[in-house]
Chain A
């Protein structure tokens, strides 16, 4: 006889245990809607949270909603801040979060911040407030110095991960690393590749030697090649290595030493760094190439044939970041050798060059799309593209989930037909049904947005620049694309009509960025008035906005949904359209 005990009559501990198997935020959110008791149980047992926009709620709200967090991830500035489009001082300050969390989450273990302004005081507060602090990952952050790192190093006795990804750090001293206690052996991941200055080599060697679980070590440029053998010999269990400078003045034994050291790292599968590469030293990594699944050569000035030779030995490569020095020929070699390739990023070696310095065209990308069946993520900078090539890519790779194409010159048409690239991108969204992220470039009319609105059903993030004819384009996207979360637009002739016709949509998205478009201040005011749960920020460095007429075209506009209302840390060049002002 089946025993049917209703789920809701289980004791709290049992429910909690069951809930612990449900990890996805989406599912936990659903759980919390079932009943008040389920809401409470989820609330107290939720240990990790991801906040996509630091201004979507206040730190106090977070503490109230989830009082038992152990892992917090927060994102600050909008993506276009990466390209200097967000003025200095706009926001994304970590300090208020640090203060509230220091009080409210004594058991916090992990902090992951992206595009936030973090100061030394906050780092020190973090280092002293959380006894069990283990993981600090700062991506594209700024505002702190090596003093803050020293505080983390000395006070976080259980530090497992210290990961600085492309941060701007004020490098004041090399001693911060030495502050890591001699008794600390828990480090699993250390990444200081973005630091400009030297670190104490002795401290580094001792640290690497005693942390037997160290899996990731990413050095900065100041660590010379001759230090690598010693480090590798102390950490043969290393999985991920970021080299320092990969060149050295004349030193006869170094080559043999390096060769042997690399050969000893049987678990090494991820390589990065490679600043200032002397090609003659490259063969020292050949022995590990067959095991390498991730290779970041995007800071390396190596050219073909050395570049091709290196990559074609990595037959198990899954992720490749490289400069356009690889050229079409190199990408053909990749297509032939790297059958497991999942992600390709090709960056421009000379983004502002007048003449194209390398032979990299759409053909390289087409080769890879043909030869690599698992390719699903692409970031590609080039100078020419054709609709035909995009059709081919779309047909070859319907499994694409991220497709970011940057044709360097704005408004560049199909170089074969001189037509806009609408049809090509249309093919991409039509065939690649799981496409989550798309970046457009080249000559594009409103047509491409019609395609996107109609076919890009799973699209979550769209980046647009120098495209479209008018409001219809924006309207097509905002009225379609059910899953759109982030939309960022620059230099497009989109104006008030499309925006005001789709106000409800904006609350279903995380954020909308529009700069150098045709939106008027009046429309922003209307929008702000209609939608109290949106922050409508007008960013304009040209002067005070309160005296401006309604038909004034705003320079930059950032709209995001929020529960916290207008923010308090707003700089003078930002105007939040507030109900009270209207």
Chain B
């Protein structure tokens, strides 16, 4: 696969295009721009970062960057001088965190744009509601099983796995975070219907 990528990159090098040699719009990294003062350099492969830095040439599995951009900076062994123990501890944790977040969109009626929050960060409904109040500068009031959020200007609702719009607070927290797909803060008047038993 690496051989094929190299072959394709060589093809690209002979392609007739407008632009500086080595520049390629389809590449994610901006290594083509000959900016000497730039602090940017291509991200090494994840595997490279965690201690398999046994050679000083970059082995970027994303495909032959070395061939198309001779000015590209390579990841240097042992630099910056962060102990592998520290790098490995933190990298592992970062990867964990990135894959296990539970981000959902939050919309509020009347607000010009949506927000996104990570449900895993909160301990329970109390914290979630506080966070929403802070985020949108509103008051939501207290939940009651019978009345919902009756009496307050806003009611938090969510779309569950089945596509139904539910009132936030009805189900246990753990069930909520696994079934919630998105949140919507409704104006109190509209939400009244949801608070009553069918």
Whether the Cβ atoms of B43 and A353 lie closer than 8 Å is: yes
Whether the Cβ atoms of B93 and A275 lie closer than 8 Å is: yes
From residue 330 to 389 of chain A, which have CB atoms closer than 8 A to chain B? 347-349, 351-356, 381, 383
Bound Cα distance from A252 to B126, whole angstroms? 11
Whether the Cβ atoms of A276 and B80 lie closer than 8 Å is: no
Whether the Cβ atoms of B39 and A409 lie closer than 8 Å is: yes
Q: Which residue of A lies closest to B41 (CB)?
A: A354
A residues in contact with B53, CB < 8 Å: 84
How many chain A residues touch B (CB < 8 A): the figure is 42
Q: Is B84 an interface residue (CB 8 A)?
A: yes
Whether the Cβ atoms of B123 and A278 lie closer than 8 Å is: yes
Partner of B85, one of A80, A140, A255, A439: A140
Whether the Cβ atoms of B80 and A354 lie closer than 8 Å is: no
Q: Assess A408 versus B80: contact at CB under 8 Å? Given A301-B97, A352-B49.
A: yes
Q: Assess A168 versus B40: contact at CB under 8 Å? Given A299-B90, A301-B97, A408-B80.
A: no
Q: Is B195 an interface residue (CB 8 A)?
A: no
Partner of B44, one of A84, A352, A381: A352
For the complex formed, measure the closest distance between the CB of A107 and the CB atoms of chain B, giving whole angstroms: 33
Which 5 pairs of residues, A with B, have the shortest CB-CB distance? Answer: A83-B78, A166-B85, A82-B83, A85-B78, A408-B80
Q: Assess A352 versus B39: contact at CB under 8 Å? Given A250-B173, A406-B81.
A: no
Q: Is B87 an interface residue (CB 8 A)?
A: yes
Q: Is A298 an interface residue (CB 8 A)?
A: yes
Q: Assess A84 versus B29: contact at CB under 8 Å? Given A352-B43, A352-B49, A355-B40.
A: no
Bound Cα distance from A255 to B126, whole angstroms? 14
Whether the Cβ atoms of B82 and A80 lie closer than 8 Å is: no
What 1/0 flags go to B44-56 for Cβ under 8 Å of A? 1000010101100
Whether the Cβ atoms of A168 and B85 lie closer than 8 Å is: yes
Interface residues of chain B, those whose CB is within 8 Å of chain A, are 29, 39-44, 49, 51, 53-54, 75-87, 89-90, 93-94, 96-97, 121-124, 127, 173-174
Q: Which residue of A lies closest to B38 (CB)?
A: A409
User: Can you identify 12 A-B contacts, CB atoms within 8 angstroms?
Assistant: A83-B82, A84-B77, A140-B83, A166-B85, A166-B86, A249-B174, A278-B121, A279-B121, A280-B122, A299-B93, A353-B43, A491-B76
For the complex formed, measure the closest distance between the CB of B105 and the CB atoms of chain A, giving whole angstroms: 22
Q: Beyond the given A83-B78, A280-B121, A299-B89, could you list 14 further A-B residue pairs with CB under 8 A, ordered by the A residue number?
A: A275-B93, A301-B97, A347-B86, A349-B90, A352-B49, A352-B75, A354-B41, A381-B82, A406-B81, A408-B80, A410-B76, A412-B39, A439-B81, A465-B79
Q: Which residue of A lies closest to B177 (CB)?
A: A250
Partner of B84, one of A82, A276, A381: A82
For the complex formed, measure the closest distance between the CB of A476 and the CB atoms of chain B, giving whole angstroms: 23
Whether the Cβ atoms of B39 and A410 lie closer than 8 Å is: no
Q: Assess A348 versus B82: contact at CB under 8 Å? Given A276-B93, A301-B97.
A: yes
For the complex formed, measure the closest distance between the CB of B52 and the CB atoms of chain A, giving whole angstroms: 9
Whether the Cβ atoms of A80 and B39 lie closer than 8 Å is: no
What 1/0 flags go to A394-424 for Cβ under 8 Å of B? 0000000000001011101000000000000
Q: Is A194 an interface residue (CB 8 A)?
A: yes
Whether the Cβ atoms of A83 and B123 lie closer than 8 Å is: no
A residues in contact with B82, CB < 8 Å: 83, 347-348, 351, 381
Whether the Cβ atoms of B79 and A301 lie closer than 8 Å is: no
Partner of B51, one of A84, A85, A249: A84
Residue from A354, A355, A381 whose CB has the most chain B CB atoms within 10 Å: A354
For the complex formed, measure the closest distance between the CB of A279 and the CB atoms of chain B, giving whole angstroms: 8
Bound Cα distance from A463 to B79, whole angstroms? 13
A residues in contact with B90, CB < 8 Å: 299, 349
B residues in contact with A356, CB < 8 Å: 39
Bound Cα distance from A71 to B21, whole angstroms? 64
Q: Which residue of A lies closest to B124 (CB)?
A: A250
Q: Assess A84 versus B39: contact at CB under 8 Å? Given A299-B90, A410-B76.
A: no
Whether the Cβ atoms of B42 and A354 lie closer than 8 Å is: yes
Q: Which residue of A lies closest to B89 (CB)?
A: A299
B residues in contact with A490, CB < 8 Å: 78
Residue from B29, B75, B87, B96 whose CB has the most chain A CB atoms within 10 Å: B87
Whether the Cβ atoms of B123 and A82 lie closer than 8 Å is: no
Whether the Cβ atoms of A348 and B80 lie closer than 8 Å is: yes
From residue 431 to 480 of chain A, which have CB atoms closer than 8 A to chain B? 439, 463, 465
Whether the Cβ atoms of A83 and B84 lie closer than 8 Å is: yes
Q: Assess A298 versus B75: contact at CB under 8 Å? Given A348-B80, A351-B80, A354-B41.
A: no
Whether the Cβ atoms of A381 and B122 lie closer than 8 Å is: no
B residues in contact with A280, CB < 8 Å: 121-123, 127
For the complex formed, measure the closest distance between the CB of B164 and the CB atoms of chain A, giving whole angstroms: 24
Bound Cα distance from A83 to B78, whole angstroms? 4
B residues in contact with A140, CB < 8 Å: 83, 85
Q: Which residue of A lies closest to B46 (CB)?
A: A352
B residues in contact with A80, CB < 8 Å: 78
B residues in contact with A347, CB < 8 Å: 82, 86
A residues in contact with B41, CB < 8 Å: 354, 409
B residues in contact with A252, CB < 8 Å: 124
For the complex formed, measure the closest distance between the CB of A85 and the CB atoms of chain B, giving whole angstroms: 5
Residue from B29, B76, B123 whose CB has the most chain A CB atoms within 10 Å: B123
B residues in contact with A279, CB < 8 Å: 121
Q: Which residue of A lies closest to B42 (CB)?
A: A354
What 1/0 flags go to A476-500 for Cβ under 8 Å of B? 0000000000000011000000000
Whether the Cβ atoms of A406 and B80 lie closer than 8 Å is: yes
A residues in contact with B96, CB < 8 Å: 276
Partner of A194, one of B76, B85, B87, B121: B85
For the complex formed, measure the closest distance between the CB of B85 and the CB atoms of chain A, giving whole angstroms: 5
